Chain A
Amino acid sequence: MTVGTKKQIVEQHQKNVWLNSAIPAVTPVGAQDFSADGFYAPLDERIIASAAEALEAGQTHYVDVPGIAPLRQAIADYLNATYGTALAQGNVIVTAGAQESRFLTIQMLSEATGKIAIPSVVHPGVLKAIGVRPLTVTPMAVDSRLLATVESIQAALEAGNRLILLESPSRLTGAVYDAATVQAIQTLIVKYEATLIWDQGFAPWVTDYAAAKAGEQVVAIGEAFPGSGLSSWFIGYIAAPTALVPTMQSQKQIMAICTSTAAQYAALEASKLFGDIQRSQLQRLQAARQTLAGLLQAQVEVISGAAANVVAVRLGGGQKEQAISRLEAAGYRVSDGAAFGAADVVRLSVSHSDAAETAARLVQGA
């Protein structure tokens, strides 16, 4: 039997190009996987103990939609201490990972206008979240590091956009805006009475990071306490001005009720250990990135980036396809920049450094 309605549904979905973009995995599979957004990290036994203890104590029931109070507070405290914000617990929504943070901010903060401006090179999860309920999208031109330029942000605002999404670090290249540029962007956002979704998920892997200040027309999103071994547990955050919290909280209520308690209690423990975890992971990643970038630099163009967890290289004229197929044939995985909107770029996530040399050789075609 053929079902006409189904055919229509499938056709409509297929036409929705946003929805069909593929998103990278959150955690790599083994040493030869350079494709994930997160990286492998051991799980501290104190995190296991805390999560297990909470479950055994009966924390197996629904909890508050925006998250358990101590975790919301811990996230606010961390952001305040690290980025100089003045967030309270009520500004924080705990999410089931970075993608839910994207989805809730993109879809709910665009309700009034149905529009959003995004960098022409951006994480495919952004495109996917847009595709769930398609919006009118203004792409913003990017510079050589694949960050949206201030001019393009201004142009998008002048064209009537009131919701802007930016990544710093770029999830493709790891490049960041410097303090002066962040200041200029925030001034524009204030001037146009716009809202800025600021994805700072990779920020812990940057030294001297300049953050847009969440809470002042800025909604910051990211993974909660990354590098703590929780990437497969799916735990993220949204830090938003008080007035913007209810709409996202209501939507979270109807699409999830709350975030899993095991992940929340694990993240709460991770918040206590994060100072040490972040320092040691950053050191480890920096060393690994240096090795990888050094090997790659010999023959290909490494795009300038600041985050220690990714290296992006430019491979033009069919080189990229060749490199990816050589890598795949040898059991290696990388991220194709095409999914981000950069057809001649390949992203290698820094996770294990063991396989770096082979990976670099395969990229170079040596």
Chain B
Amino acid sequence: MTTTAPKQGTNLLYALIAEARGYSDAIILGRGDPDFDTPPHIIEAAKQAMIEHHADDVPPEGLLSLRQAISERVKRVNGIEADAETEIVVTNGGQEALLLMVLTALGPGDEIIIPEPNYNTYHDALKFARVNKVSIPSSAETHFRTDPEKVRAAVTERTRALLLVSPNNPTASVIPQDDLQALIGVAAEHDLIIIADDIYDLFIYDDYKHVSPASLPGGKERTLTLNALSKSFAMTGWRLGWVTGPADLIQRTKALKAGITGGTSIISQYAGLAALTGPQEPVQMMAEAYTRRRRLVMDALDDMGIQYGIPQGGQFVFADISFTGMDSAELAQRILSDQHVLVYPGAAFDKERGQYIRITFLQPEDKLREGLERMRVAMKRVLGSG
């Protein structure tokens, strides 16, 4: 089957996932779901909560004890000061946090500046909120750097916010501190809200450094920041995340949260509390594994002669497949049908990014190796048959 998948964006991804499910030997290098299971001490805490706290009161903004743990975490890891009482809302994963930040900061007809490519569901959330996006494209040659001057030039009278996802999904680029300070400067000049997504902040490679906008001068009062335990603690199925930000905005986030889901599952909240306050070694162990796997993917791509932006953080590599002359949706489809390896087409993240594919390294090393080997076979066939 060589037809281009007709679907777009998030739906395109779900169509590919559905097809991959049909192959018993499929190797999934697509979805951003860590192969690691949640560390056992967190599951133990959840079991304990089922016995002791199954019917606890759940305020829409989340348990105070959890918000206190989040406050400590964002201070320790990100240098963000967030008051547990007034500046934090607990959410159903980073995903709900993302929609809440968009709905808090933006209304119909407003504009937001988005470095592209970017996590696809931001586009969906903006569509829901009837917000217009202004894209700032980036490319593999510059390792997907977002030039603050380009952002400045894109500001219009309607611009109200700037999205900063660092490490970025799908490009794996990390915003350097001087760029970040310049971006905050642009935001301050034009009075923009910064929507920051720190979900990959614990997975940073080589000498790159992650800095949260809300930790820098001029950042805190205009920044809403999301984070979640999905990626860092391999807790995607628990649906636990949060938004931090200045109290006046967070009050609105809280009202919106009450309107969207009302609250967050008590068991997940206690599991989250255990993750944040318990041993941090599992995160370290996973970070080390990702460091090794990242190298495997980079080496394999080098071997195949495929260019990519250096993955500075995150759990994936964004590779340029323009030399194939194929569209990424078509190529992903070919790799899947031919070799049962699922990679994500860049077109799903940004329809202008048809020349990229995203390869995650969320599989054990042997499986990852095999997946990359199969991908090499598929690429050979693609190039051989044109």
Binding site for B on A (CB under 8 A): 1, 3-6, 9-10, 12-13, 19-20, 23, 25-29, 40-41, 43, 47-48, 51-52, 55-56, 58-63, 65, 96-100, 103, 107, 125, 128-129, 131-133, 229-235, 250-251, 253-263, 266
**7 nearest interchain CB pairs?**
A99-B262, A128-B259, A60-B38, A254-B124, A261-B237, A232-B266, A43-B54
Which residues does chain A contribute within 8 Å of B38, judged by CB atoms?
Answer: 55, 60
Once A3-B191, A262-B46 are accepted as A-B contacts, the answer to whether A250 and B261 lie under 8 Å apart by CB is no
Could you tell me if B249 and A6 are in contact, using CB atoms closer than 8 angstroms?
yes
Best-buried of A12, A43, A47, A56 by chain B (most CB within 10 Å): A56
Kindly list 13 other residue pairs between chains A and B, CB separation below 8 angstroms, not including A9-B252, A233-B266: A9-B105, A10-B252, A51-B50, A60-B37, A61-B37, A61-B236, A62-B31, A63-B237, A129-B259, A234-B58, A234-B266, A254-B99, A254-B128
Categorize the interface residue count of chain B: 35 or more
The 17 listed contacts between A and B (C-beta, < 8 Å) are A3-B222, A6-B193, A19-B252, A19-B259, A23-B258, A40-B55, A51-B267, A55-B38, A61-B236, A96-B239, A99-B262, A103-B261, A129-B259, A253-B14, A254-B95, A258-B237, A262-B46
> How many residue pairs between the two chains, A and B, have CB atoms under 8 Å in the bound complex?
213
Which residues does chain B contribute within 8 Å of A250, judged by CB atoms?
Answer: 10-11, 124
Could you tell me if B104 and A234 are in contact, using CB atoms closer than 8 angstroms?
no
Could you tell me if A20 and B255 are in contact, using CB atoms closer than 8 angstroms?
yes
Could you tell me if B55 and A262 are in contact, using CB atoms closer than 8 angstroms?
no
Report the nearest B residue to A99, measured CB to CB.
B262
Could you tell me if B37 and A48 are in contact, using CB atoms closer than 8 angstroms?
no
A41 to B260 Cα, complex, angstroms: 25
Could you tell me if A254 and B10 are in contact, using CB atoms closer than 8 angstroms?
yes
Could you tell me if B11 and A100 are in contact, using CB atoms closer than 8 angstroms?
no
Could you tell me if A6 and B248 are in contact, using CB atoms closer than 8 angstroms?
yes
Once A132-B260, A233-B54 are accepted as A-B contacts, the answer to whether A255 and B268 lie under 8 Å apart by CB is no
Interface string of B66-96 (1 = CB under 8 A from A): 0000000000000000000000000011011
Could you tell me if A234 and B262 are in contact, using CB atoms closer than 8 angstroms?
yes
Min CB distance, B109 to chain A, in Å? 12
A250 to B13 Cα, complex, angstroms: 12
Q: Confirm or deny: B264 has a beta carbon within 8 angstroms of a beta carbon on chain A.
A: yes
Which residues does chain B contribute within 8 Å of A62, judged by CB atoms?
Answer: 31, 33, 236-237
Interface string of B89-118 (1 = CB under 8 A from A): 000110110010001110100000000000
From A13, A230, A254, give the contact of B252 (CB < 8 A). Answer: A13
Q: Confirm or deny: B256 has a beta carbon within 8 angstroms of a beta carbon on chain A.
A: yes
Could you tell me if A98 and B262 are in contact, using CB atoms closer than 8 angstroms?
yes
A266 to B130 Cα, complex, angstroms: 37
Which residues does chain B contribute within 8 Å of A131, judged by CB atoms?
Answer: 255, 259
Which residues does chain B contribute within 8 Å of A52, judged by CB atoms?
Answer: 43, 46-47, 50
Could you tell me if A260 and B92 are in contact, using CB atoms closer than 8 angstroms?
yes
Which residues does chain A contribute within 8 Å of B336, judged by CB atoms?
Answer: none
Could you tell me if B249 and A9 are in contact, using CB atoms closer than 8 angstroms?
yes
Which residues does chain A contribute within 8 Å of B40, judged by CB atoms?
Answer: 56
Q: Confirm or deny: B294 has a beta carbon within 8 angstroms of a beta carbon on chain A.
A: no
A261 to B98 Cα, complex, angstroms: 20
Q: List which B340-370 residues lie within 8 A (CB) of chain A.
A: none
Once A60-B235, A232-B56 are accepted as A-B contacts, the answer to whether A26 and B96 lie under 8 Å apart by CB is no
Q: Confirm or deny: B134 has a beta carbon within 8 angstroms of a beta carbon on chain A.
A: no
Could you tell me if B128 and A99 are in contact, using CB atoms closer than 8 angstroms?
no
A13 to B259 Cα, complex, angstroms: 13
Min CB distance, B233 to chain A, in Å? 9
Report the nearest B residue to A20, measured CB to CB.
B255
Min CB distance, B32 to chain A, in Å? 9
Min CB distance, B282 to chain A, in Å? 12
Which residues does chain A contribute within 8 Å of B234, judged by CB atoms?
Answer: 60
Could you tell me if B55 and A229 are in contact, using CB atoms closer than 8 angstroms?
yes
Q: Confirm or deny: B19 has a beta carbon within 8 angstroms of a beta carbon on chain A.
A: no
Q: Confirm or deny: B121 has a beta carbon within 8 angstroms of a beta carbon on chain A.
A: yes
Q: Confirm or deny: B288 has a beta carbon within 8 angstroms of a beta carbon on chain A.
A: no
Q: Confirm or deny: B1 has a beta carbon within 8 angstroms of a beta carbon on chain A.
A: no
Interface string of B32-55 (1 = CB under 8 A from A): 011001101001001100110111
Min CB distance, B13 to chain A, in Å? 10
A233 to B264 Cα, complex, angstroms: 7
Could you tell me if B255 and A12 are in contact, using CB atoms closer than 8 angstroms?
no
Report the nearest B residue to A104, measured CB to CB.
B260
Could you tell me if A103 and B37 are in contact, using CB atoms closer than 8 angstroms?
no
